[in-house]
Structure 1
Amino acid sequence: MKIDNEDTFKSHLQKGINLFLGAGFSVEAKGTFEDKPTAMPVGDGLRKEILKTFSRDENSRMLLPQLCQIISKTQRDELNDFLRKRFSVVEFSNLYGNLERINLKAIFTTNIDDLIFKIFGESQKYYVNDISLRGPSIVGSSAIDYIALHGSVIHPPSEGFDFSPIEIASSFERDKDKWFGYIGRVQQTPTLYWGYSIADAGVLQALAKETVSGRERAPAWVTLRAEDDEDIEYYSALGFQIIIAETNDLLRYIGQIKVEKAAVSPRRLIDKRFSEYLIPAVDKVPVRTLAEFYLGAEPTWYDIFLGGLHKTKHFSVAQNSIAGGNNCLLIGAAVTGKSTLLRLLANSISDLGQPLFIEELTSEKAKLLRKAIDAEGVKVVAIVDNAADAWEAIAILGASDNVQIVAAERDYIFDSVAHRFPRGKFEIFDVSGLSRLDVQAILDKIPSGVQRQFSKKFRDPLRADVDPTFFEVLDSSIAGHLLADRFIEALKELKLEAPEKHDLLLLSCYLYSCRVPTSVDVASSFLSNVVGDPGEVYKLLVSMSSLLSPYEGSFAETEQAFFVPRSRSVAEAVMKRVGSIDLRRLLIQFHSEVSPTKIPRYDIFRRMAYDANLTSRAFPKWEDGLDFYEKCFDRDDSHSFKQQGAIYLSRKKQYSLAFKWVDDAMAIAGRQVASVKNTYAVIMFNANYDKPASLREVLTTLDESMQILQKCYTEDLRKVYHAKVFADQSVKYANKFPDSPRALEYLDQASTWLNAELRSRQGDRAINQLLRDLKSKRRNLTHQNGSSR
């Protein structure tokens, strides 16, 4: 075994290195071939196995990409099934576990197997973050970003695999920003290319080129199995340093690398690897005026520690639930104090367990965190904001006897995932409404400098029985402009004085309204045609400190800087109020310039990024909106994306196209089809609602829509989601056909379902409002029908 510049190589293994893996890396693992465990194919092995499996001429001279191309034309599903079975690892050498000893930054691979996921499946140090599913990791040294260049067996079957140079080139053309991002990673961080032969040199040659403003490439090593002079000369010419070693030899070598020994003390594992979730010390938090909080900024730990914020009745109810050992969920409308309440609870329950305040957590990281908690045997209260984004992670943590869950989510978002939080395991509280005592206490706490001399009325006379929300109290009592107004004014000024800052501020609001922060990487790609240097983009972001803040979602070390507007509610208000021309330009520029692989937590971002509420404003002309959705489908081929396109087209009254898109969504959704059927029913209802009631088919189609929703409710776990849509349509149906015998049936059925949901969702304002609407409509309908008789 020989290693060029071995001491330097060893240093990078300890300080941080990428792996770039080819077929030779997986030789000590086995998949399944002809129904028995068989070593992973290398060289020409896979081509020969495919020829045999698909009964083709075993003397064929066709190359692997050509062979796959031909077979996929007639037997695509069979080929994909073969590849998935062949490259799903069933056995692997224990030597691969030595990889935990080195400091891994990212793993690139041209393999499609799941070996890396199997290696780190039981790790207590690392979790694998597949950026094609999650986007790049935001913070923390525990994440290994995983980049499968040809696809992976763990990806959805619809994605397939890219084997041929044509497919790779096509991928590059569709998303150049992604590939430049990959190249940037290997230029900045030392990389070990492992498992390649001279036949694979094309991929390495493409990545070896210096493509970013003449920047010197970080050191790179390539492994060769034998000391071949021509191979060494070729790779040296590409700038690689050489390692001569078999895979198992190199794994044994890594097993001898010295690693830092963790001190054994209570909570050490959590403190060290998950410090981003710890409650900070009071002397470590930034100081600010309390007026910022009351003007609409998100709460900070300084507000919690020293702000003397009022603890509402909901605080006592939640604290009591936690003290009783229960998992609890706090739901409510926007700006109702959920995040503030979570922080107040986190600061008051240390005697019940170690509080961890979690704003971002993937299921992969949750597995690692749970291992650390269980290893230490410490009782933890995991306090999780944005519960819908983290339901998988919450389920993983909640399965531990050492973890108690306290979470929060907006009520309308929670509806779609309520079935993920079993009623027997969670107490659910609506924290939207404030009692009269709470209202007065909050008014007394508002600093005099921002308090109105005479408050506006915040009670709606038509909803006198509904308690006011925190936002309504503030809106009626704050003098001067709230933060949302200041942002709109700032956008107008920046558009004239500093267009790049205007675009960055609008970008940050868009991303934060989709629940992700703005990274310098994303901002640089977004402004790539205007500002070429990432350093200048960073300076622009920092210069807007009165509007943007460093992301405080966690406190772990990160090499990437992130920024967010002062609050999510402000970001959402900006997206609702910004002009349609600016909004359209933002969406087109963003989705053409920024790769999904650069967006942190892309799985969260995608849920709201293409929302029909947004695109309906951005694209008043349906032809423009359709063009936008069609272009974006190359990057997001999910059923939820097709759903939003269908909703957009429906709102533009392009019902034929809307039905086509929702049909496509149902075909993609598979087992998740119930939510798409709900959309189908709504589109059907709206397409026919405005037609003359005298047309017989109108009543028939509205009944069909209602029956689809009934079936969705009975067959799907998302009960409240379907019940609310059904209730809303029941009222509209009764308005349209008050004489129909089914009008009362629908109203009564909706009331029954909503009352059933209300029993497990104490004080849910949205459900109560719908029940009031149903009751009012039923009373009017009964009176109207009685009078007519």
Structure 2
Amino acid sequence: MTINIDNLLEKIYESPKSAINISDTAIYGSLEKEKVVSLYKLHGSVTYPVGSRMSFTETELTDLFIKDNKLFETVSFKLSTAPTIFWGTRLYDSNTMQLICNSEAYSKCSMQKWLVVYPDEENKAVIEDYEDMGFNIIEADTKELISYLGKQSFARNEEQDKYIYKEYREKFPTSFICNELKKSGVKRPVVDFFAGAEPVISDIVSNNVTKTSYYSVLLETILKGNITLITGIPGCGKSTLLMQLAFSDELSGRKFWFNNIIKQEAEKLVDLVKEDKNVTIFIDNLYSNVDALNVLKEAGNIKLVLAERALNYEYVKRFLNISSDRIVDISELNKNDIQMICKSMNRSSSDAFDLMEKNQNISLLEIVFYTATYTQIQERIKSYVNDLKNYKDSNLKIDLLELFVLVNYTSYCGIPCSMDMMYFYFSDCIESYEDILYALEKMNRIIVESTEYDFYDKTQDYKEMRSKLFAEKSFSVIDASIISNVMNKFLDKVGNHIIYRYDIFKRRAYDADLTKKAFDLKEGIEFYEKVLKNNKSPYVRHQYALFLQRKNEYDLAWKQIDQAYTESKKKIFSIANTHAIIMFEMNIVNEPTSGRELDMLKKTIEKSFLTLEFCITQDVRVNYHVLTYARNAIRYFEKYGWDNYAEQYVNSALKQLSILLNSGEYIYQGTLKELNNLQKQLDDIKKMI
């Protein structure tokens, strides 16, 4: 915790000699993992974007506690969990005094606290006051204190000529693939994996998880180039294949595997391996780790193997310079693979084949789960939700269904739910962590320890849904009222600084796909307005506009998207695309009463097409914009027939589709199918004229 606004601490930890990375909680939330220290900057920072609030005057500092009370509640709580040294302050600062005196959690805790007092005769009189407040006093100047701390065992430096791979292991103990890492972590029955759990290291090294035919395809692809992307539909086995490749003996050299990696860790890793010419880094969930990717891809000696679902490809591809032959889509199921997997489970493959025939685009996870349990995932979740609704226990202080939806919500947003997050969320109805643990014990079939748990701070648990696919499918069977209650309560009770990987969480936390299900129009407006009080990002307004659009409130949606479009200075192409869609939708339904009105209407609609044309020429996510342009060209023709505008839009759409479909670029199969269908519809229009 610091009340300074400079970046001195960041500069200290940037040193290549430092094995520790610093994590600003304003960006990453509470990132508690090995070799990472969380930094709470109470008064703002010179490192934050221009326009971010920094506090200097006494009035500003006093107001901080009121304006950002969740931050101070978080810091007070974290201070109560560990011994603390107050250094560089004489407690005159009002924020510091608020943390110490006004926090119930901190005032009642038994943790030791020290206060560094400059050795001066004038300070003798105040030492007794500080001791009455429960402080142990350290009389020292800064140089003396640093010298003392530097002599302690936790600060001793190892010899500099140590074996280089030992340094890899020590600086990245949960990522450098070696015998120690292979032996670490939870050892569980492989049946847990077949029942839908995310893969863990023990599943992979046991060889009980069958390698599919895509394994050899990917092995060959990796050996031929510097960047490889594994993609596909949710639940198709991307994470499993990535881990199998990472932990295999068929790829030589030094290998690192990350489920999440922040920019600072990537910078340290690049410096650590700069002299090593045979390094491969495996990164899962690329969408959540693009900041680190931007650092790693600039290192000429590092080979990258990445995994991300196809639905997010349009976003991540702007960070990649990659040809379609470097991308392996593993969505399509091979019957020989299914037979081998079923055989490894001692199950017949006939049920799996029946399920495949009845369901298009079904995932490997769903087939394996059905083969192992004779139940489809959605049906199992529905049954489980009903059990939670009807469960009775007089000792429970937490509603089990609410806890289920809370963990489901954070899992949907791509992060585990830490005990600290649950503690803040349920603070009104529990007395201690034991109340949460008692409730979690009742739900261990579907809420599990995070697959990354062994890599976190061991002082608390991290919980997640059994799989990402479970989290997404659960929302379709949960009552909207429960989802809305959890989302509102989470927003009110859980501060950003206590959320694990807040940078990932916020990308989906206010997603219109979720809020459309959770809220009616009035509730949704109240929710987004509440979010905007503390987060005025144009991305929030974008989701707000999409929510309103999906509720068919185009006038309200236009107000939000136009403001987001303006605030983003027309440089965020996803916002520009939605701006064009809503402008088109608002006007295509109008019925002008005169020729003059019709001309004005068509010129306004033309602006939406011009915006999309600009996006197509400037944004790498061309598919996204071409799809919208082609759809709207067909809609325009259906409404107004063949006129000069229709001719322009149809011809332009056909040209864009032809360029895209013949580019050789990777296109997700669902998108490819729609692009081909649109091309056929537009060709049919031309034939009609």
What is the TM-score with the length of structure 1 in the denominator?
0.78
What amino acid is the match of 1:121?
Answer: E
CA distance 1:180–1:402, shift in 2 (3 Å):
same
CA distance 1:772–1:426, shift in 2 (3 Å):
closer
> Does the Cα contact within 8 Å between 1:484 and 1:573 map onto a contact in 2?
yes
Match of 1:8 in 2: none
What amino acid is the match of 2:527?
Answer: F
- In the alignment, is residue 233 of structure 1 matched against residue 128 of structure 2? yes
Match of 1:223 in 2: 117
Deviation at 1:481, TM superposition (A): 2.1
- In the alignment, is residue 566 of structure 1 matched against residue 471 of structure 2? no
Distance (whole Å) between structure 2 residues aligned to residue 772 and residue 459 of structure 1:
24
Match of 2:287 in 1: 388
Which whole-Å deviations, capped at 9, do the CAs of 1:505-530 have from their partners, x for residues lacking one?
Answer: 11111101100001000011111112
Distance (whole Å) between structure 2 residues aligned to residue 538 and residue 683 of structure 1:
47
Aligned residue among 82, 98, 108 for 1:206: 98
What amino acid is the match of 1:245?
Answer: A
CA distance 1:554–1:360, shift in 2 (3 Å):
farther
Match of 1:274 in 2: 172
Aligned residue among 79, 86, 111 for 1:193: 86
SS at match of 1:157: coil
Distance (whole Å) between structure 1 residues aligned to residue 253 and residue 632 of structure 2:
46
Aligned residue among 74, 78, 81 for 1:181: 74
- In the alignment, is residue 470 of structure 1 matched against residue 364 of structure 2? yes
Distance (whole Å) between structure 2 residues aligned to residue 480 and residue 706 of structure 1:
50
Deviation at 1:149, TM superposition (A): 0.5
Aligned residue among 722, 740, 750 for 2:625: 722
Deviation at 1:297, TM superposition (A): 2.9
What amino acid is the match of 1:772?
Answer: N
- In the alignment, is residue 287 of structure 1 matched against residue 185 of structure 2? no
Deviation at 1:225, TM superposition (A): 5.6
Distance (whole Å) between structure 2 residues aligned to residue 734 and residue 328 of structure 1:
42
| Identity level (%) | 25
Distance (whole Å) between structure 1 residues aligned to residue 488 and residue 405 of structure 2:
13
Aligned residue among 512, 522, 540 for 1:623: 522
What amino acid is the match of 2:139?
Answer: I
- In the alignment, is residue 752 of structure 1 matched against residue 658 of structure 2? yes
CA distance 1:435–1:454, shift in 2 (3 Å):
closer
> Does the Cα contact within 8 Å between 1:452 and 1:479 map onto a contact in 2?
no
- In the alignment, is residue 770 of structure 1 matched against residue 663 of structure 2? no
Greater CA deviation, 182-191 or 277-286? Answer: 277-286
Which whole-Å deviations, capped at 9, do the CAs of 1:514-550 have from their partners, x for residues lacking one?
Answer: 0000100001111111223123213322442211111
Deviation at 1:421, TM superposition (A): 0.7
Match of 1:110 in 2: 3
Distance (whole Å) between structure 2 residues aligned to residue 339 and residue 301 of structure 1:
11
What amino acid is the match of 1:281?
Answer: K
- In the alignment, is residue 704 of structure 1 matched against residue 607 of structure 2? yes
Aligned residue among 332, 336, 346 for 2:236: 336
Match of 1:104 in 2: none
> Does the Cα contact within 8 Å between 1:450 and 1:480 map onto a contact in 2?
no
> Does the Cα contact within 8 Å between 2:258 and 2:283 map onto a contact in 1?
yes
Deviation at 1:330, TM superposition (A): 1.5
Distance (whole Å) between structure 1 residues aligned to residue 136 and residue 53 of structure 2:
34
Match of 2:19 in 1: 125
Aligned residue among 323, 336, 345 for 2:245: 345
Aligned residue among 460, 473, 495 for 1:595: 495
Distance (whole Å) between structure 2 residues aligned to residue 579 and residue 254 of structure 1:
55
Which whole-Å deviations, capped at 9, do the CAs of 1:303-323 have from their partners, x for residues lacking one?
Answer: 433454443343222211211
Deviation at 1:382, TM superposition (A): 1.2
Deviation at 1:754, TM superposition (A): 2.6
> Does the Cα contact within 8 Å between 1:429 and 1:764 map onto a contact in 2?
no
Match of 1:541 in 2: 440
Greater CA deviation, 701-710 or 517-526? Answer: 701-710
SS at match of 2:476: helix
Greater CA deviation, 490-499 or 251-260? Answer: 251-260
What amino acid is the match of 1:480?
Answer: Y
Distance (whole Å) between structure 1 residues aligned to residue 255 and residue 583 of structure 2:
48
Match of 1:713 in 2: 616
Deviation at 1:707, TM superposition (A): 1.6
Deviation at 1:632, TM superposition (A): 1.2
Match of 1:492 in 2: 386
Match of 1:680 in 2: 579
> Does the Cα contact within 8 Å between 2:282 and 2:304 map onto a contact in 1?
yes
Match of 1:299 in 2: 199
Distance (whole Å) between structure 1 residues aligned to residue 369 and residue 434 of structure 2:
39
- In the alignment, is residue 532 of structure 1 matched against residue 437 of structure 2? no
Which whole-Å deviations, capped at 9, do the CAs of 1:43-85 have from their partners, x for residues lacking one?
Answer: xxxxxxxxxxxxxxxxxxxxxxxxxxxxxxxxxxxxxxxxxxx
Q: Indicate the RMSD between aligned Cα atoms, in angstroms.
A: 3.0
CA distance 1:371–1:183, shift in 2 (3 Å):
same
Deviation at 1:341, TM superposition (A): 1.6
SS at match of 2:455: coil
Deviation at 1:709, TM superposition (A): 1.0
Greater CA deviation, 445-454 or 383-392? Answer: 445-454
Which whole-Å deviations, capped at 9, do the CAs of 1:633-691 have from their partners, x for residues lacking one?
Answer: 12322221111111112222222322222233234334743332122112112223444
- In the alignment, is residue 247 of structure 1 matched against residue 153 of structure 2? no
Match of 1:162 in 2: 55
SS at match of 1:357: strand
Greater CA deviation, 681-690 or 330-339? Answer: 681-690
Which whole-Å deviations, capped at 9, do the CAs of 1:585-604 have from their partners, x for residues lacking one?
Answer: 11111111111111111011
Distance (whole Å) between structure 2 residues aligned to residue 390 and residue 425 of structure 1:
21
Match of 1:409 in 2: 308
> Does the Cα contact within 8 Å between 2:491 and 2:531 map onto a contact in 1?
yes
Deviation at 1:581, TM superposition (A): 0.9
Greater CA deviation, 727-736 or 382-391? Answer: 727-736
Which whole-Å deviations, capped at 9, do the CAs of 1:477-508 have from their partners, x for residues lacking one?
Answer: 67632344323322222233255222111111
For 1:618-697, list aligned pairs within 5 A: 618-620=518-520, 622-670=521-569, 672-692=571-591
SS at match of 1:318: helix
CA distance 1:674–1:447, shift in 2 (3 Å):
same
Match of 1:781 in 2: 685
Match of 1:134 in 2: 28
What is the TM-score with the length of structure 2 in the denominator?
0.88
SS at match of 1:148: coil
Match of 1:74 in 2: none
CA distance 1:316–1:219, shift in 2 (3 Å):
same
Match of 1:513 in 2: 412
CA distance 1:661–1:283, shift in 2 (3 Å):
closer
CA distance 1:301–1:618, shift in 2 (3 Å):
same
> Does the Cα contact within 8 Å between 1:751 and 1:771 map onto a contact in 2?
yes
CA distance 1:654–1:662, shift in 2 (3 Å):
same
Gaps spanning 5+ residues in structure 2: where? 393-397
CA distance 1:449–1:284, shift in 2 (3 Å):
farther
Distance (whole Å) between structure 1 residues aligned to residue 625 and residue 464 of structure 2:
34
Which whole-Å deviations, capped at 9, do the CAs of 1:98-121 have from their partners, x for residues lacking one?
Answer: xxxxxxxxxx11111111112222
